[in-house]
Amino acid sequence: MTHRTPERPTPLDGAGAYSSAGGDVWRILVVESDSAQAEPLMAGLRRCGHQVSRVETGGAALQAYGDMDLVLIDLELPDIDGLEVCRLIRAAADTPVIALSTLGSELDRVLGLQAGADDYLVKPYGFRELVARAQAVMRRARPRPRCTGVIARGSLRIDVGAREVSLDGRQIDVTRKEFDILHLLASDPGNVVPRKRLMQQIWGDSWSRRTVDTHVSSLRGKLGCPQWIVTVRGVGFRLGEG
């Protein structure tokens, strides 16, 4: 199969202007087999203040993404189809993923988003657009808490500022999305949070019913008692009493 060689991303003029946006420094994994495209992209991201690593294959990406805040993945990889890499990452974690591809039809974009990508850019793209989209994805991935302090529900404590959860004094290791689910339920105690509200508020435009159920099931397992999160059939979820 012959791929058209895409133009390089519009690189780096003014890239430093983005370095202070939000004050955040991200660990970014660039999954790109073409050095001519990877190098200017990585240089621009580093000028923005981010920590950037690169791998050239899907197999290597699946080994490396776990330590990253954001993955930028070219879908045309030499070993594994990029869509499959997106599916595997999304099945295992909630690490934000932006897909990059020369294929820009509506169907291609839909397939990328359905595979688990949080956004989809068509090559050639502008560097400023990439940075703006990355910022938007990261805002959705790390929503600002609506309050600070600690929410206590019996033996369950949710430290909103530190984004930490403890139960009976024991810290529970939760993912970003699991924390957001628990925080949302605990912020509205006794009331049922509709499934649609939960999906839209935490996942934005990239969600599925199965994604929500998988995260809720995982969270119940970590809390050690399914009664902490009660399913109200046909409506949504509410925080229980463990």
Supply φ then ψ for residue 51, to 5 degrees.
Answer: -95, 120
Which residues lie below 8 Å from residue 144, measured CB to CB, with a gap of 6+?
Answer: none
pLDDT band at 7 (very low <50, low <70, confident <90, very high): very low
Measuring CA to CA, how many Å separate 96 from each of 21, 35, 136? Answer: 18, 23, 11
What tokens were used for 13?
């003029």
pLDDT band at 141 (very low <50, low <70, confident <90, very high): confident
pLDDT of the residue at 37: 94
pLDDT of the residue at 188: 78
Q: Is residue 121 over pLDDT 70?
A: yes
Q: Is residue 137 over pLDDT 80?
A: yes
pLDDT of the residue at 204: 62
pLDDT of the residue at 148: 55
Tally of CA atoms within 13 A in the half-sphere of 44 that contains its CB: 22
Residue pair 98/70 in contact (Cβ under 8 Å)? The answer is yes
pLDDT of the residue at 17: 41
Supply φ then ψ for residue 241, to 5 degrees.
Answer: -120, 10
Mean pLDDT of the chain: 83
Q: In what order do the strands lie in the sheet with 193-194?
A: 193-194, 236-239, 229-232
Q: Is residue 135 over pLDDT 70?
A: yes
